[in-house]
């Protein structure tokens, strides 16, 4: 990759980072999510997939 392209990508990355850091609501949500994770309040991918499968089956039964 050319150095100029790399600098443009770096600048865009920094701009995105600054946008996130300056968004008070988003930062509060991120901090809360980190607290929830440390406290064990989260779902595994397997749990989410299983729940989605159950909901899909329930919906399918209702429409049949």
Summarize pLDDT for 4-61 with one digit per residue, the tens.
Answer: 999 999 999 999 999 999 999 999 999 999 999 999 999 999 999 999 999 898 888 8
Q: Please determine, for residue 64, whether its predicted confidence score (pLDDT) is greater than 80.
A: no
User: Encoding tokens for residue 27?
Assistant: 């930062």
- Which pLDDT score, from 0 to 100, does residue 46 have? 97
Indicate the number of domains in the chain.
Answer: 1
23/43 Cα distance (integer angstroms): 26
Q: How many CB atoms lie within 10 A of CB 30?
A: 13
Domain span including residue 18: 3-63
User: Encoding tokens for residue 46?
Assistant: 């397997």
* 3-class SS of residue 42: coil
């Amino acid at each position: 990759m050319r150095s100029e392209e790399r600098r443009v990508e770096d600048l865009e990355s920094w701009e995105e980072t600054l946008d996130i850091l300056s968004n008070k609501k988003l930062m509060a949500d991120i901090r809360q999510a980190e607290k929830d994770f440390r406290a064990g309040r989260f779902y595994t991918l397997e749990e989410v997939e299983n729940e989605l499968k159950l909901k899909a089956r329930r919906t399918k039964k209702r429409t049949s």
